[in-house]
Amino acid sequence: MTPPSTTPATAIHQPTGAGKPWWRKPVGTDPDRINLAFLLDAFREAKDSDKRDSSCVKFAHKNELAAALLLEAQVPGAGFVFRSERAFLDRAAAYLVARQGVSTIVVAGAGLPNIDYEHDLHSVVRRAEATNRNREQNTTRPNVIYVDHDPLVLAHLRTLADEANGVHVVDADPWDPHAMWNTLYHNDKETPGLVSPDHDHVALLLGGVMSFHGGSRAEAAQVVQDHLVRLPANAFLAMTHLLQPEHPDLAVQALEFEAAVQRRGPGTGSLATEAQIEAMIRGTVLLPPGIGPAFAWFPDGPPTDTPVCGNFTAAVLTQKPGPDRDLPEPPWRPAPP
């Protein structure tokens, strides 16, 4: 399929070098590091163990493709772990637009686009809005904002940018929430930003981003809390994270998967327990079905025939409460005098 006609995205560049730990620095063209976005893209064809169709690799480099195949050989079905995360984000975005009236979706750590341009998240959103629109619903087209800070990933994402149709690409670091939201809000600029905290109904998607934060799980939780600080009231957060299952047999297999990811992947990658994920989203209202495997979050029907490793990644959809005095005070809002 021919890519959609595009207009140049507004690229806002931020410093990416000094003072950051190695895992925070964009990989770019560094041949000695595995680029996470390209590794995840490589898993689109790693389908031998779970027999599922997936798009062939378009962007993956040799290093990332080799790493994906080795990981798939060591952990059968490993590709499903990451594909289920992306599929959850698509379903959550469609649900939020169709059922919750979300007007702006921010995809932080967006990764690479799909090969055929029909299965990217903004295309899923467009189909959801067309299917569910009626005379009583708002016909305003939701904005989809892809955020990443790797220069090679941004180059690919910009092929999708179509500002006239509400598809934007922004250069910002999802692991630096305050800088990212300053960029999106343009608080210090005379011109308005892409997001209006006073008027937009916002959803933030953190798909697998926090799993590869190289700090402690407590530090990763603080990053999510900092995102929640900056989100407007009533905004949604859809997040996935590699999961440490509670079942003893699954827990052992999950730890083997974690070790394989760290050895074959970008050098980081950590499981989180359900309690650690709860710490990331504390102060929010957790939507059903709660914290569970990404493949199981399926509002339109039950999943079937999923590999065991599907339990190694969790998905969660939650909402930041509004200024309702009857609700418990979230940790980022001071208690009323």
pLDDT digits (tens, 9 = 90+) for 109-133: 988 887 666 678 888 888 877 766 6
**Distances 292 to 171, 179, 208, 298, 314 between C-alpha atoms, Å:** 31, 30, 14, 11, 5
Q: Range with the lowest mean pLDDT among 75-79, 228-232, 256-260?
A: 75-79
AA letter at 132: N
DSSP one-letter string for 264-294: HSSS----B-HHHHHHHTTTSEEPTT-SEEG
d(CA 53, CA 33): 28
* Full-model pTM: 0.84
pLDDT digits (tens, 9 = 90+) for 252-274: 989 988 888 888 777 788 999 99
Residue 302, pLDDT above cutoff 80: no
pLDDT digits (tens, 9 = 90+) for 160-208: 899 888 999 999 999 999 999 999 998 666 667 899 988 899 999 999 8
pLDDT score, position 7: 34
pLDDT digits (tens, 9 = 90+) for 215-224: 888 999 999 9
pLDDT score, position 195: 93
d(CA 35, CA 188): 32
Show the tokens assigned to 229: 């600080």
